[in-house]
Structure 1
Amino acid sequence: MSDTGEEWQVARRRKGAARKSQSLQVPSVCSQEQLDIGKTVKRIRDTVSELRCEEFWHKWKILLSSEAGSAALSKPPVNRDNEGHADLQGSSKEGKLWQQLECVCYGLGSFSSCVSARFQLAMLLLLLEAEQIPLKDCSVYDPAFSTGERTVLSELGLTVLKENEEGKCLVTKPTLFYLMHCGKALYNNLLWKNWSVQRLPLMIIIGNSFNGMMDRTLEREFKRDYSYITQAVSVCEERQLPCPSRLIDVFSDTAVITFPTGSLNRLPQSTWAQPPEPQYQHCSDLEIIQRETQS
């Protein structure tokens, strides 16, 4: 707890930052290449212990437990897939309901030097613990991770992805996506990749409110560039997660977002027909790092 007070003071001075690039930056005592793995792991675990005592965390846990339970009871998609995934119901013939969530975390940021990112990582670990998701079943990726940070994540037991998926992750079972302060394109890509009545209900997103994104963007540009978020707003369910004022930079505008099948079925069938992949030709600030293309 020796440096916690200083960190909260910094957080209060930087109230209102919405994007990861504007998050709290604390000078590192060493370079990324010289990152003290053991010390960093300890700091993260200390932060987990600190958050566990917070009142707002207990409110999160109650709310998220009900949402996760609903997703875990979701039926798997039908046995057809235009991308070659033929049997998504698994080999079990016993008809058991799925009870285990997987987790994917994108865009966490440089948690060894950024206070916000460290607290967001600690919250991720608390969520995994609360929902009894094995650490190895949580995949994490951010192009900003240093070699040392990837080692820290592996030491914690998480699975570090090697490829920049740009959010284009195809779900095959109930999955919790932890996307704190990520760019709109990443959310849009994730929706596009799973744009069907069968797959969207398998997702729980903890991240920025879709309605908040729309409010902060010109309507014409939002509909043009982020069409999948635009369509999802009318059929998803958002529940705002509480955030204490001293952590406004860390957890501001955070919601749990789900996709009830009944709401999706209200959309015309043409909504789901051959959804085009987003291109973002008109976006001057895409807010995500795209994968490098080989020439």
Structure 2
Amino acid sequence: MSKSEVDCDGFQIVKSKNSFKKHTKLPQKESKFIKSDVSIDIEQSISRIKSAAEDLQVSEYFKDATKSVSTVVLDKPVVEIVCFGLGQISQCSISKYQLAFLLCLKDVVKPKKVLVHDPIFYKDECELLKRFDLEVIPQNSEGSYIISEHGITIVYLPHCPKQLTNNFLWANWNSNLQNCVLICNSFISLVDNNPSRILSETVPYIYKIYPFTCETVLQNNFKYTDIFNDTSIHCFPKEKLETNPTEFWVKGDKPLYNNTEEFITSLMVEKLNI
């Protein structure tokens, strides 16, 4: 079998059916996640990210994505974009393009603010993000960010662990989810590929909100197919949410997770060094 075409960043232009997803391997839950720090060439990284944004902006993938977002948002103001889980944007080409998507989306919807967090950001990466007018959240809230009540919040979780999405839903477990546009791994794919019993036990808030979600599956037609695979746009229409009885919105304590290697908790990393 001949080798797939590979670009200068190491992307395969043609990929097999089982696409690679970005993961951060972590120690067991009792261990402390020790984050190293390195100096990066900020100017060079900015240049590469701008180049990726220019590449993405003219792609059919981004045009389709922004059209889908606009269909959901309509004429409502987007007050903020919140992004968790970009990864190390100075070293990972997938992370670089996912940041480029965030920047392009920012230019289109023009929110009042854009907030980002990843517990593995280097200090210089935080400075780089600030150069793009992004606000870096220092604390690791494990996705438990409460969205605004005064307009649309777009939440971008690129290839993030399902626990992070579950925590976000838990934090916003009320009818204000109607003001959320969630760009993350497909709920449909998650539900189709996992037993209901497992989902109800491990990510109960995704499991419970799924029947009241409208999902737009984004065609994975960007030239590098490992970057945005399995990504969908999710929204929670008011008319669907209002069909739920009051007891539906009762929530318990913040979820706890066992035996996971993909989810960085606040006990592992408490605060970014910025």
Where does residue 268 of structure 1 map in the other structure?
245
Residue identity matched to 2:56: L
* Counterparts in 2 of 1:158 and 1:56: CA distance versus 1, 3 Å: same
**Match among 60, 63, 66 for residue 58 of structure 1:** 63
Where does residue 236 of structure 1 map in the other structure?
213
Are the counterparts in 1 of residues 23 and 262 from structure 2 also a CA contact under 8 Å?
A: no
* Counterparts in 2 of 1:152 and 1:229: CA distance versus 1, 3 Å: same
Are the counterparts in 1 of residues 24 and 262 from structure 2 also a CA contact under 8 Å?
A: no
Where does residue 20 of structure 2 map in the other structure?
17
Where does residue 163 of structure 1 map in the other structure?
139
1:118 and 2:68 correspond: no
Residue identity matched to 2:140: N
**How far is 1:45 from its partner?**
0.5
Structure 2 regions of 5+ residues with no counterpart?
Answer: 1-5, 26-35
Distance in 1, Cα, partners of 2:182 & 2:87: 18
| Structure 2 SS opposite 1:20 | coil
Deviations 1:51-86 (A, max 9, x none): 11212211112111121226x2xxxxxxxxxxxxxx
**How far is 1:286 from its partner?**
5.7
Are the counterparts in 2 of residues 8 and 246 from structure 1 also a CA contact under 8 Å?
A: no
**How far is 1:141 from its partner?**
0.3
Aligned structure 1 segments of 4 or more residues deviating by more than 2 angstroms: 4-15, 18-22, 31-34, 214-219, 245-248, 277-281
Of the two structures, which has the highest relative contact order with CA contacts closer than 8 Å and spacing of 6 or more? 2
Where does residue 180 of structure 1 map in the other structure?
158
Where does residue 28 of structure 2 map in the other structure?
none
Where does residue 266 of structure 2 map in the other structure?
291
Q: Which moved more, 1:4-13 or 1:254-263?
A: 4-13
Distance in 2, Cα, partners of 1:155 & 1:248: 28
Residue identity matched to 1:129: D
The TM-score with structure 1 as length reference comes to 0.79
Distance in 2, Cα, partners of 1:101 & 1:121: 19
Are the counterparts in 2 of residues 183 and 286 from structure 1 also a CA contact under 8 Å?
A: no
1:7 and 2:9 correspond: yes
| Structure 2 SS opposite 1:232 | helix
Where is the helix percentage greater, Structure 1 or Structure 2?
1
| Structure 2 SS opposite 1:289 | coil
Where does residue 129 of structure 2 map in the other structure?
153
The TM-score with structure 2 as length reference comes to 0.84
| Structure 2 SS opposite 1:255 | strand
Supply the RMSD in Å over aligned alpha carbons.
2.2
Distance in 2, Cα, partners of 1:278 & 1:218: 23
Distance in 2, Cα, partners of 1:37 & 1:58: 29
| Structure 2 SS opposite 1:6 | coil
User: Residues 66-215 of structure 1: matches in 2 within 5 Å?
Assistant: 66-69=71-74, 72=76, 99-134=77-112, 137-173=113-149, 174-197=152-175, 199-215=176-192
Larger-Rg structure = 1
1:38 and 2:43 correspond: yes
Distance in 2, Cα, partners of 1:66 & 1:284: 39
Distance in 2, Cα, partners of 1:53 & 1:126: 10
**How far is 1:11 from its partner?**
5.9
**Match among 41, 46, 53 for residue 48 of structure 1:** 53
Distance in 2, Cα, partners of 1:224 & 1:121: 32
Are the counterparts in 1 of residues 90 and 125 from structure 2 also a CA contact under 8 Å?
A: yes
| Structure 2 SS opposite 1:256 | strand
- Matched positions, count: 251
Residue identity matched to 1:177: V
